[in-house]
Chains A and B, each alone.
Chain A
Amino acid sequence: MEIPLKEFKERFFDTLIEIHWRQWTALGVASHVAPEKTWTVDLEPLIISTLIIGLHDKRLLSSSIEWLTKNGEWINLSRLKRIVKVFSERMPELKAPTLYPEILELFIDTYNRSARYKIKYPRMDSYNAKDNVMNEYKAFFSRFKVRNVTTAPKLQLPSMIQLLLRSIFGVDARTEILIYLLTHEGGNSNSIAKEIFYNQKNIYTILERWSHAQMVTRMSDQKILGYSLNRKKELLLAIGLKEMPNYLNWTKTFLLLDRLAKAISIPPWSDDEYLLSSLFRDSFNEGKSIGRLLHINIPDPTHHPGKQFFSPFALGVLGVLTKLKKGG
């Protein structure tokens, strides 16, 4: 089955934007879509991803910034910085990062003008973002106005478990560790740190404290000291949830999708099925691991030489997006 490049681009952006809308709606942004109920919402990667794709839907970008200016206390700044670092890495083929640091700086300046909780963010290295893109962002941020289209987050939604736990534990690593342990059999401080974007030592310290408190059990049968969460059901009930929402590593998922979004927006890749298929090969492993979690087959590129890989991969990505939109 083939898909024309133009159709892929339209469906890709439509669905990706709707996924963002669903998550922001769950957080409290007024919109035309139903709030996300199935997947956990992860605030930090959502902020970054919205900044990256925001020019494709300025109302989404504007509404999300407004929500942040009013609800900035929910942001975990140190985690945001760690995730920004990943999104700011230069993609070798495109010779550009997924997120230009200049865009983040424009956002922080705009945010700090209106927000109650100010963000202190160190200046980052400039990548000399393309003028036309930066001009569009500059124009957008200079015109930003609060339109009163947001409310407080709806913490009773299962997808809001991150903010619910932050409201209990505070905005620190404990929330993400708990979500990780609720959704995995167990893990060690290293694997958890990689998955949730925190400092490994910090995670180890927390896990050891929880072990003393018998909240977690040490899994001594593993080579590296692992931990599993005790009394998961009771814990969920205690916070008012019957079961966990579906977990997904949104940082890795948005990173993949935003890289693809970038590739299909920048010439010469944007109009060339072969060049895109070549970039798709670079993302195959990430696509495959996300596809596996969602039971979507991402075909092996070795069976599809040259531009023949375009359609199979594009259809696989659309399958992933559809699943993310509809829920697991």
Chain B
Amino acid sequence: MKLIAPDIIHDILEALDRQIGAHGGVPLRLVVCGGTALSALGLVMRTTRDMDVLGSVSETENGVTIQSIKKFPEWLTEAAERVGRDFDLPEKWLNLGPASQVESGLPDGFEKRLVKKVYGQYLTIYFISRIDQIHFKLYASVDQDGYHVQDLLALKPTEYEMEMAAKWVVTQDVSEVFRSLLKDFLEMHNYGDTAKRI
């Protein structure tokens, strides 16, 4: 079993596009966050276990809207399993792990900042932007150590970006305990001024 390396993301998504066609699927627009989005946009080049799908996109004249997905359609699950087998990827490499975030609330202007990439006739991926990665990574870093913190710091957020992210993060968990943990985290990572302002 292999992890998803930055240099094969394009191949994997092109393969998924072909398998969607072969499995009778229809054109699909997905929002992807996490390590895959970091690598695909060249922000942080690292391997990842999976591809986190946040939701689906509908694009109209008025812009982009994101819908939550409860479950992948069967043809997408089959197509993804096939790609997983062909690239020796971990089971459930394409998953809806962060999907509940669509209902919990996304940062302001999130949709406008998505970076669109077309992978063939069927699959279009909207990668979340660097600033939104900072939002999500800060949220994840507060109560989880490890690669989220490394990703966040690798993104080198400015004080201003970290403050924006922190202000959004406190709307996701309103408890005092969480606010306190957030402040501690910011202070520990040299964002003491930001910690004072939230």
| A268-B21, A305-B2, A305-B87 known; A274-B14 Cβ under 8 A | yes
Of A163-171, A194-202, A275-283, the one contacting chain B is A275-283
Query: Within 8 Å of chain A (Cβ to Cβ): is B179?
Result: no
- Whether B21 pairs with A305 at a CB distance below 8 angstroms is no
Contacting residues, chain B, for A269 (C-beta < 8 A): 22
Which residue on chain B has the smallest CB distance to residue A269?
B22
Query: Within 8 Å of chain B (Cβ to Cβ): is A10?
Result: no
Contacting residues, chain B, for A302 (C-beta < 8 A): 88
Query: Within 8 Å of chain B (Cβ to Cβ): is A307?
Result: yes
* CB proximity of B82 to chain A, nearest CB, Å: 6
Contact with A along B83-126 (1 / 0, CB 8 A): 00111100000000000000000000000000000000000000
Query: Within 8 Å of chain B (Cβ to Cβ): is A272?
Result: yes
Contacting residues, chain A, for B167 (C-beta < 8 A): none
Contacting residues, chain B, for A93 (C-beta < 8 A): 22, 82
A278 to B15, CA, bound (A): 10
* CB proximity of B11 to chain A, nearest CB, Å: 5
A275 to B79, CA, bound (A): 11
Which residue on chain A has the smallest CB distance to residue B89?
A305
- Whether B18 pairs with A305 at a CB distance below 8 angstroms is no
Contacting residues, chain B, for A299 (C-beta < 8 A): none
Question: Which of B14, B19, B82, B88 is A305 in contact with, Cβ under 8 Å?
Answer: B88
- Whether B18 pairs with A306 at a CB distance below 8 angstroms is no
* B contact residues, total (Cβ < 8 Å): 15
* CB proximity of A262 to chain B, nearest CB, Å: 14
- Whether B86 pairs with A281 at a CB distance below 8 angstroms is yes
| A305-B2, A306-B11 known; A277-B86 Cβ under 8 A | yes
Question: Which of B11, B22, B87 is A268 in contact with, Cβ under 8 Å?
Answer: B22
* A contact residues, total (Cβ < 8 Å): 14
A309 to B88, CA, bound (A): 12
Query: Within 8 Å of chain A (Cβ to Cβ): is B66?
Result: no
Contacting residues, chain B, for A309 (C-beta < 8 A): 86
* CB proximity of A234 to chain B, nearest CB, Å: 51
B1-56 at interface with A (beta carbon < 8 Å): 2, 8, 11-12, 14-15, 18-19, 21-22
* CB proximity of B86 to chain A, nearest CB, Å: 5
Contacting residues, chain B, for A268 (C-beta < 8 A): 18, 21-22
* CB proximity of A248 to chain B, nearest CB, Å: 29
Contacting residues, chain A, for B19 (C-beta < 8 A): 275, 278
* CB proximity of A89 to chain B, nearest CB, Å: 19
| A274-B14, A305-B8, A306-B12 known; A281-B85 Cβ under 8 A | yes
Which residue on chain B has the smallest CB distance to residue A308?
B11
Contacting residues, chain A, for B87 (C-beta < 8 A): 305-306
- Whether B12 pairs with A275 at a CB distance below 8 angstroms is no
Which residue on chain A has the smallest CB distance to residue B11?
A306
- Whether B86 pairs with A306 at a CB distance below 8 angstroms is yes
A281 to B86, CA, bound (A): 8
Contacting residues, chain B, for A275 (C-beta < 8 A): 18-19, 22
- Whether B8 pairs with A278 at a CB distance below 8 angstroms is no
Q: Which A residues are within 8 Å of any B CB, using their own CB? A: 93, 268-269, 272, 274-275, 277-278, 281, 302, 305-307, 309
The list of the 5 closest CB pairs from A to B, nearest first, reads A305-B87, A278-B86, A306-B11, A275-B18, A274-B15
Inter-chain pairs besides A93-B22, A274-B15, A306-B87, 19 sampled, C-beta below 8 Å: A93-B82, A268-B18, A268-B21, A268-B22, A274-B86, A275-B18, A278-B19, A278-B85, A281-B85, A281-B86, A302-B88, A305-B8, A305-B87, A305-B88, A306-B8, A306-B11, A306-B15, A306-B86, A309-B86
Q: List 14 A-B contacts (CB under 8 A).
A: A268-B18, A269-B22, A274-B15, A275-B19, A278-B19, A281-B85, A305-B2, A305-B8, A305-B11, A306-B8, A306-B15, A306-B86, A307-B11, A309-B86
